[in-house]
Structure formats: C-alpha cells, structure tokens
Structure 1
C-alpha cells in the first residue's frame, strides 16, 4: 500500500525536476562582471536555483564562498524550491546585525530544530529563549579562571603525557602512518567527557579500540548534518517515516548515545545522593544540582557539550597541523616560542603563547571549524545592506567565505601568515603583542549573546597540545605531494578520508 502511494507522489515530482534540469543545462547562466569565471545562479519559477545547487552539491561550501566574493555587499539571496529563499552573507555589518543588533529576530528556528532534534533534543545548540538562557547560565560556571587552570594543568596534561605522547612515540619508532584526525578526535573526546561527565572513556589508547558510544556519536553527527544539508528535506523525512537507510542508522546511533549518557547520569545521581557534600566539579553535577531531574533534558545538554568540545577543537587542530609543514618558518617561530617557556607548561605559560595563539587564529580563518551557521527570522527585517528578509526565511553567515575576503584580509588572504594578528611587543620580554579582530569580522566562535562560552578553554587546550606535540615531534603529512585534502562540512569541518601522517621524533634541544 505504501509503495504505490509513494510512486504516485514521486513520479510527477521527478518528471517536473527533469524537465527543468534540461532547461537549466541548455540555458546560459549569468556571470559576475568582475569575475567572469564565477557564475551567479539563475532563479527559475517554482524551482528557484535548485539545479545550480545540485550541480555544485559536491563543492557547495566553496561555490557559495565564490559567489559571496563577487556579490554586491558580500550578501546573496539563494532562491530555493517553491519560492523559498535563504540569505548568505560574508559582510561583517550584516553579521553584527543578525548576531547582536537584531538578536531577538534571528533564532535557531524550525528547519534547524527539526533536522537536529532527534540527536540534540533541547540542548543549548538547538534551543532558544528561556531554555537557552538557563543552559548558558549554568554552563558559564565551567569556564571560570579556576576551572580553566584545573583543565589545563590536570585534564589536558594527563591526557597528553599518559596517552598522546606514548602513542606518538610508538608511531615514530615504528615509522607507521597514523590518521591524525582520528587521534585528535579521541584526545578531545576523552577531555570533554572528563569535563562534562566527570568520566574517562579512555578512547585514546595504544590499542585504538573502538568505543560504541564514540562511534555512535560520530554517526549521529554525520547523518544529522546530512539531513540539514538535504536539497529536498521531504526525502529524509520520508526515510524516517519508513525507518530505512540512513534514518534507521541514525535512530540506532542516537539510541546508543542517549542510552550510554543516561547510564552515566544515573551513576552520577547515585554518587551525589551517596555523598551529598561532594563538590559539583563537572558540568553534569552542576546541572543535576541545579534542580533539573528531567533525564532527557540533562542528556540533551551533555550531548551538546560533547559536540562543542570534541569536534571543534579536533577540526581546528587537524587543519593547523596540515598547514604547518607547508610553512616551515611558522613552525620554527612556534618552536622558538615554546622552547623559551618553562618545561612545566602551566596555565600561565600556555596562556602567554602569543605567536602560537596567532597561528591558530590564522589557521581557523582559512579552515573554520564551523564554516557556515544560520538563523531563521521570526519577523520581517531589512539588513544593513538593504537586503529584505521575510519572516520564516533563513539567514546564514559564512565564516569560510569571510576568511577569504580580500576586502577584509588583503591581497595575501590565501597565505597562512600569523603575523597579520601580531604587532611588535613593547619590550624584550614580550616579542609579540596579539591584535585580535572583532567578533563580527572573525565570527569563528560566533558573536553577540551566543558567543562561544568555551572559546578560552578551546584555545588553552589547543595551545597546550601544540606545545606538547611540537616540542617532541614533527607531524609530517603522508599524502602524496601536491594532493589537497577535501574540506567537508558536517556540523563541524572534517578532512575527508582522515589525515594520514608520519611522526618523527625531534632531537633534544641542546
């Protein structure tokens, strides 16, 4: 019964699409007058620019970035199926408008929530209003100076010395190839679970064993992201209704993640009841101690926190370590800075790694962990550049494109040059002084009221890892020379197929 109904719906739809597809193929599309090689998609009745999106579906991120480079005011309206529209922008003034000035108008919205709700539920990344405010308020305690110092000097240090260094030593001795993206994800996963749950999954180990929780988490992230990127969302919704294909795999993965998380929540509740005087030292304890006993809600919060802590830092470091061998002068300056610090690398030493901080900022400019982020308008609005936004339309800011804007970064925007973030220091003790960009020009950590709470924690973790790794090892990409890895977009950026590297031990600094 279901199959005939499905065919009666799909066949006319497919005929309709094929008719317009051939019309699109044999119709010339306009090009930008300033950059003739970049075609601006033509919009047709009913289908909008669907076929232009379809043709560029395997490089959608780069395609939209190219369009924004040549669009007036770096803002472009993409027309979708059946009269829907989405605005993309790489204009800092527009970014400030949607993330701060008119923050109350631009929310997560129904398209985002419907695509990600099975996985993220009502967690902070999928919430608006009072629920978002409450989660942000409780989470903010996790990022005090005291907590950050403890994170760097205990959690990250232990993971680095007890697990990562032995793994890299073994790889260097055996001259074996490692998937460094996988190593970095495992490292970050262990760290965030310790912070979020007060629980150590020991996912990074010499055996590189699989964790059902970590594997299910990765599957849930990937499939949920593909939902959000779907050109025709009704297809994934139909697959969900029929419980087939990727939607069936998503249901199984989410059940594994949530079941695992709930077991840890139960253990934490018992721990708090057994010893009511225990300090709320991890995020889970804080939320349970705040009076919220709804297990589903607490699970949502923890899943969002793991997503933020694992995927963003590992994505940023993957591309950082890929860029570094291409620019040996940058690596030399980082090493010089690291070797001038004490061997202990405590919180204060890590915090003052100025050149390393600039190099990480520069890497994330070119390869932002979240390359595109969007909101939905809950009321009609007009953007600063004059673009009209109707209620219900989506507006997305594009950090990937913004990092490539000549008008922001200059003609050398394609160069990996940390010095663009630095000025000479005031005295011999401070060789460099960091000069940041405002959050709307560089929205890698979002901006406005929703700016990332974990920004400083992320930088401290990344700088400590860079210092710990580079002082002892060289990370050498194992791919053939000239082969460029593919930047793929899920909820966060990934390197398609992993990041194969060889590890070489450095000679002791004498």
Structure 2
C-alpha cells in the first residue's frame, strides 16, 4: 500500500509538471523512469529486486543494498569468498540468508544437523533446480552434479556398483600404491634440493591419475608431468569459472563483455570433450577378450546400461558422466587428503602417534620397503 501511494504521488507530480509546461517524449520517459526507480527502491530497500520480504527471517538476514541485495558484497569478496562466508557465519550464526538478483533468496548453513536434514533426512525436498542447472549445464551437461530426482538416482545407483570391497582393494593395492610411490619420489627430490612442495597440487594430480585409470581407463600421467597437463589446466579453469558464476548472477552478460572469455570457456570445455569421447570410443571398440581381462569399471556400468525402453546412453550422455565423475573423484578426495595432512602437521602429537602406528602396522610389508 505504501508503494502504491508513493507511485501515485509521483505520478500526480509528473502530471502537474506536464500540465504546466509541455514536456517532450524524452522528458516524459525520464520522469516516468525516475518514478519507477524511486518506487522500486522504496519497495526493495535492502534486498534484491523481485525477492519477497521476509520479516520472519529478520534475525538471520544480512542487510543488502536497494535492488541489488547482497550482490555487491559477494563481488567484493570474489578473490576469497570463503573468508567472507566464514565472517558472516561468525556474525550471524550457523544459518543466514542473503538475496541476489536473478537467484532470489539464498540460505547459507553451517551446522551438521542442518546439512544432514538437507542431504539425507529430507533429501527429496531439496532440488538443485533451474538456477543451478543454468550455471553448470554448458560444462557439466546432464551429469550427477546438475540432475535431480530420478535422473540423480540413476547416476548415484549406477555409480554405486563400483564401491565394492574388490574395487577398494584394487585402489589400495594398485593405482594408489603406484601413485604414492611417485609422490614419495617427488618428496625425496624436493628434500634433496631443499624445495617446498604444494601438497594440494600433488594430491589433485594423484587422484586424477588414480580415478582416471580405475573408472575410465585413461592414463593422465599427471604426477609424472612437469607443470599441468592440458586436462588439468582445462579443469582448473572451468572450476574457477564456475566459482565466479556462483557469486555473479550477471555472468551471462559479463562473460560476453570480457574479451576472449566465451572462447576460453569453449576451448577448455572442448578439452574435456576430447578426453571423454576418446575414452568412450576406445571402450566401444574394445575387443571382448580384452574386456574379460580387467575388472568392470564405472564407464562399463554406464555404457552397458539399458533403459526400460531398450535404449542405451548416447556418447553425449556418457561424456557428461565422464566429466562429472572425474571432478567428483579428483577434487573431493584430493582436498580431503590436503586437509588431513594440514591437520596432522598442525597437531605434532597426533602426527607422532600416527607415524608410530604406521611403523608397527606396515613393518616388513612390501609397501613399506
């Protein structure tokens, strides 16, 4: 009601001004636009335009700017957004809400109970939706990170086939052992030269090698490559680009206004496509006798899946499977390992106990020599 009264008041003012002195069409448009802007600012004084007022959330709402909501705060923290998020949690508690143009109202949660409710207890009530899909679809296609409900369950159920005791044994006795030895050789060389090592970078290389080999039959050889491989560069660039999209709802516009940005995204996506389609084509052409010599991997389960209507996954759908699960296997495991070693080094007493137990358990084993 207040907004309507304000708009009507401005309208009457404009009409009075027009009755006194004839106005040009341009002046009329300018005055009308000004009236609409003032009315919009009055309606959305501290939240993004077209978002609903939520007085019931006042205690956990982060005040924003008129019409833009919390967009400007997000953009100013783009170099290290996690620091901004952590600061907000410290100030607001374990749950707070912000508004962003085109994305609406967002809730940030930081409590195990809330996360369990969303990801487990009441999982079916929370979907990724169109906004999330629009952010990622040109890179991740229709894979598990973008899909919802039945499509998501299909990806999850099919992938679960490889999480067996036999596969874990193959991981620890095969590819992971080989990659661990490669990492140890890098540590030894760095120590002899007195150089520091970037653990996170090495773990990202190791997990890409391991999961590439055991899930799709690809030899990335990232650990044995100085610098980054073509695939690593593409994946890292696209990951950073997705992070930027998450905090910038105007990315479809800003990407086109940034010289070369659209071309770089297409080029990096093309690199992922090249490796994905190569793996799929190689598997389709594989001789039965060769297939019998190895364990069924993730690609086997998806490529051999037959839908109820008798159809199978297309090469494009398999490409999406490849990209999504390479990211899932590489990044999550590598970052967990990085945090684990950081925590151990930050707690020398616990590290000492871990080393003591390793000495006891692995003494005399082949992996320990």
TMscore range, shorter length: 0.7 to 0.9
Instruction: Tell whether the 8 Å contact from 1:48 to 1:82 is kept in structure 2 after alignment.
Output: no
Instruction: Tell whether the 8 Å contact from 1:280 to 1:289 is kept in structure 2 after alignment.
Output: no
Gaps of 5+ in 1: 1-11, 25-38, 347-467, 473-510
Match of 1:180 among 169, 178, 199: 199
In structure 2, the CA distance between the partners of 1:70 and 1:214, relative to structure 1 (3 Å rule), is closer
Match of 1:216 among 234, 237, 246: 234
Instruction: Tell whether the 8 Å contact from 1:223 to 1:246 is kept in structure 2 after alignment.
Output: no
Q: Distance in 2 between matches of 1:251 and 1:42?
A: 37
Query: Which aligned pairs between 1:305-320 and structure 2 lie closer than 5 A?
Result: 305-320=325-340
Q: CA deviation at 1:241?
A: 5.2
Q: CA deviation at 1:252?
A: 0.6
Q: Distance in 2 between matches of 1:247 and 1:335?
A: 49
1:112 aligns with 2:132: yes
Other structure's SS at 1:290 match = coil
Higher relative contact order (CA 8 A, sep 6+): 1
1:270 aligns with 2:270: no
Larger % of helix: which?
Answer: 2
Q: Which moved more, 1:238-247 or 1:41-50?
A: 238-247
In structure 2, the CA distance between the partners of 1:345 and 1:190, relative to structure 1 (3 Å rule), is farther
Other structure's SS at 2:82 match = helix
1:281 aligns with 2:302: no
Query: Which aligned pairs between 1:156-171 and structure 2 lie closer than 5 A?
Result: 156-161=176-181, 163-171=182-190
In structure 2, the CA distance between the partners of 1:302 and 1:272, relative to structure 1 (3 Å rule), is farther
Query: Which aligned pairs between 1:469-484 and structure 2 lie closer than 5 A?
Result: none
Instruction: Tell whether the 8 Å contact from 2:63 to 2:70 is kept in structure 1 after alignment.
Output: yes
Larger % of strand: which?
Answer: 1
Q: CA deviation at 1:276?
A: 6.2
RMSD, aligned CA? 3.3
In the superposition, the TM-score normalised over structure 2's length comes to 0.74
Other structure's SS at 2:116 match = helix
Q: Distance in 1 between matches of 2:103 and 2:193?
A: 59
Match for residue 125 of structure 1? 145
Instruction: Tell whether the 8 Å contact from 1:115 to 1:227 is kept in structure 2 after alignment.
Output: yes
Match for residue 87 of structure 1? 107
Instruction: Tell whether the 8 Å contact from 1:272 to 1:278 is kept in structure 2 after alignment.
Output: no
Instruction: Tell whether the 8 Å contact from 1:98 to 1:106 is kept in structure 2 after alignment.
Output: yes
Q: Which has the larger radius of gyration?
A: 2
Instruction: Tell whether the 8 Å contact from 2:217 to 2:279 is kept in structure 1 after alignment.
Output: no
Other structure's SS at 2:145 match = helix
In structure 2, the CA distance between the partners of 1:224 and 1:149, relative to structure 1 (3 Å rule), is same
Q: CA deviation at 1:213?
A: 1.8
Other structure's SS at 2:106 match = strand
Q: CA deviation at 1:277?
A: 4.5
Q: CA deviation at 1:245?
A: 3.4
Gaps of 5+ in 2: 1-32, 47-59, 307-311
Q: How many residues align?
A: 313
